[in-house]
């Protein structure tokens, strides 16, 4: 009898341990997949109801806010809450911001981008051919691709011409360099080498001081005249470094040709600046897009509500994009996956182009399409950001909620190809 009881206890203990292990794993996965910052509408929200059996329990409040959109009283200010699994198991604490739903003017139109960098972006390094063989000034100085040169010989520098002039007049004497790498500032000296073929001093650095291109407008906020576009940052094509913004503006543009995307080779929309007069000032070049202030826009244009990220569903949606001229058109897509991981601000959704016309004309997502609004249930869900190189019918999108946040942050300042 004792052996049977002992066996029963061991079986029960084993089952309990297995259950707790599975529950712990589910909680850990839920904590990873759910956001740490949640924005709720003042009236009603569905909190991740399409993805998880979870709910919110607010601090100092016994009420649990359900995942499935039932009417509930929720705090009318910013607070903290506990994410609950199955309405009973605490997963993690999150910050909750209760706010009114935003309404914006929808984009989908192409626009020209001109930016000038704050410092010089080191695009790539190379050897200098001298009479004594190749020399590598950047290696000796510890300067790498992606670094930002801030000043030379104690003087702030912003143009290629300034750097070239200093190097050519150096007579081979060391030059003081202040640079930045991954946000960390450092000081070094670089010694120019005499190029035997060009007959002048060089330091083996290819740098960029400006950038121009065409992208797609995502939205304009009629409350303050701010705009958001691209959905990803403007980066140096060689180093991948986010171009540090000193100044920039946007102009009207039109699309006049398409290079189709094929497996292994993303295509592109080719266009031109309609005129050079500025239509807006760029205030920010960030990982989730470019943001700024419009100098002219139709403040009475029709607006569209913005979805909170937890309201976006897997399934049918549309993008609004322009592949000819300046007039946008809707095309069918599917939202295949949604990620609440904040590690990559421009890859929140996985999308798939399903519209036969768009696939026929472009092959799927092409460069220049970045920023194209993603619309679901008549509301703005996000914007196209990247194309899958080996499958151009697929790509990534950014939450409109993230772009609203950065647009607002950009507007507080006083003063950009992925698919873009």
165 carries an active-site annotation: no
Q: Same structural domain for residues 237 and 347?
A: yes
pLDDT digits (tens, 9 = 90+) for 296-322: 888 778 899 999 888 899 999 999 999
Q: Same structural domain for residues 340 and 241?
A: yes
Give the three-class secondary structure for 235. strand
Rounded to an integer, the average pLDDT of 366-395 is: 93
Classify residue 164: in a domain, yes or no.
yes
Beta strands in 25-147 (DSSP E): 37-41, 54-58, 64-65, 79-85, 89-99, 103-106, 110-125, 128-130, 133-135
Q: What is the DSSP letter of 102?
A: P
Residue 155 in this model has a pLDDT that exceeds 80:
yes
Classify residue 64: in a domain, yes or no.
yes
Report the CATH number that the domain containing residue 345 is assigned in CATH.
2.40.10.120
Confidence band of 70 (pLDDT split at 50, 70, 90)? very low
Contacts of 233 (CB under 8 A, 6+ apart): 242, 243, 285, 286, 287, 288, 289, 290, 346, 416
Q: Same structural domain for residues 361 and 215?
A: yes
Q: Same structural domain for residues 231 and 348?
A: yes
Residue 83 in this model has a pLDDT that exceeds 80:
no
249 carries an active-site annotation: no
- Cβ atoms 72, 41 nearer than 8 A: no
Q: Which of 178, 203, 228 delimits the end of a domain?
A: 203
Classify residue 323: in a domain, yes or no.
yes
pLDDT digits (tens, 9 = 90+) for 397-415: 999 988 888 887 766 543 3
pLDDT digits (tens, 9 = 90+) for 329-349: 999 999 999 987 666 778 899
Classify residue 416: in a domain, yes or no.
no
CA–CA dist 282, 406 (Å, integer) = 12
Q: Same structural domain for residues 374 and 315?
A: yes
Reported pTM: 0.79
Classify residue 119: in a domain, yes or no.
no
Write out the residue range of the structural domain in which residue 391 sits.
103-113+211-411
Classify residue 266: in a domain, yes or no.
yes
Q: Same structural domain for residues 386 and 244?
A: yes
Q: Check 55, 286, 293, 370 and give the catalytic one.
A: 370
Q: Same structural domain for residues 167 and 218?
A: no
Classify residue 258: in a domain, yes or no.
yes
232 carries an active-site annotation: yes
Q: Same structural domain for residues 308 and 377?
A: yes
Tell me what pLDDT residue 227 has: 93
Contacts of 308 (CB under 8 A, 6+ apart): 39, 40, 41, 45, 101, 401
CA–CA dist 228, 238 (Å, integer) = 25
- The distance in angstroms from the start CA to the end CA of the chain is 74
Q: Which of 140, 172, 203 delimits the end of a domain?
A: 203
Q: Check 55, 232, 261, 284 and give the catalytic one.
A: 232
Q: What is the DSSP letter of 339?
A: -
Which of these, 255, 230, 224, lies nearest to 115 by C-alpha position? Answer: 230
pLDDT digits (tens, 9 = 90+) for 127-153: 999 888 899 999 989 999 999 999 999
CA–CA dist 86, 30 (Å, integer) = 11
Q: Check 221, 355, 386, 407 and give the catalytic one.
A: 355
Which of 60-64, 163-167, 182-186, 369-373 bottoms out in mean pLDDT, i.e. has the lowest?
Answer: 60-64
Q: Same structural domain for residues 187 and 62?
A: no
Residues 256-276, buried b or exposed e (16+ Cβ, 10 A)? eebbbbeeeebbbbebebeee
Q: Same structural domain for residues 137 and 95?
A: no
Classify residue 398: in a domain, yes or no.
yes
The domain total for the chain is 3
Q: Same structural domain for residues 220 and 198?
A: no
């Amino acid at each position: 009898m004792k052996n049977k009881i002992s066996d029963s206890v061991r079986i029960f203990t084993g089952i309990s341990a297995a259950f707790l292990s599975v529950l712990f794993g589910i909680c850990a996965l839920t904590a990873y997949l759910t956001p740490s910052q949640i924005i709720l509408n003042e009236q009603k929200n569905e909190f991740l109801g399409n993805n998880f059996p979870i709910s919110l329990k607010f601090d100092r409040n016994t009420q649990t806010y359900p995942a499935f959109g039932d009417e509930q009283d929720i705090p009318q200010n910013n607070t903290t809450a506990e994410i609950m699994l199955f309405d009973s198991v605490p997963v993690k604490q999150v910050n909750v911001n209760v706010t009114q739903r935003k309404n914006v003017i929808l984009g989908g139109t192409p626009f020209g981008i001109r930016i000038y960098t704050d410092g010089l972006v080191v695009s790539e390094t190379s050897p200098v051919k001298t009479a004594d063989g190749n020399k590598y000034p950047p290696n000796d100085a510890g300067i790498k691709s992606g670094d930002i040169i801030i000043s030379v010989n104690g003087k702030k520098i912003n143009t290629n011409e300034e750097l070239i002039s200093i190097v050519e007049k150096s007579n081979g004497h060391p030059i003081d360099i202040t640079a930045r790498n991954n946000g960390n500032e450092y000081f070094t000296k670089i010694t120019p080498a005499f190029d035997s073929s060009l007959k002048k001093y060089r330091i083996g650095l290819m740098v960029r001081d400006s950038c121009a291109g065409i992208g797609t407008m995502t939205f304009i906020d009629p409350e303050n005249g701010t705009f958001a576009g691209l959905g990803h940052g403007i980066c140096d094509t060689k180093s991948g470094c986010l171009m540090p913004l000193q100044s920039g503006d946007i102009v009207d543009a039109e699309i006049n040709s398409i290079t189709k995307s094929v497996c292994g080779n993303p295509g592109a929309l080719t266009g031109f600046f309609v005129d050079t007069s500025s239509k807006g000032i760029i205030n920010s070049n960030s990982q989730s897009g470019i943001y700024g202030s419009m100098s002219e826009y139709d403040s009475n244009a029709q607006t569209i509500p913005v979805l909170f990220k937890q309201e976006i569903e897997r399934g049918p949606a549309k993008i609004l994009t322009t592949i000819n001229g300046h007039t946008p058109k809707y095309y069918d897509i599917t939202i295949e996956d949604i990620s609440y991981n904040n590690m990559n601000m421009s890859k929140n959704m996985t999308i798939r182009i399903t519209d036969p016309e768009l696939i026929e004309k472009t092959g799927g997502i092409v460069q220049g399409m970045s920023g194209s609004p993603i619309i679901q249930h008549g509301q703005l869900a996000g914007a196209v950001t990247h194309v899958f190189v080996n499958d151009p019918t697929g790509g990534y999108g950014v939450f409109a909620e993230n772009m609203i946040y950065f647009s607002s942050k950009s507007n507080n300042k006083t003063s950009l190809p992925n698919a873009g």
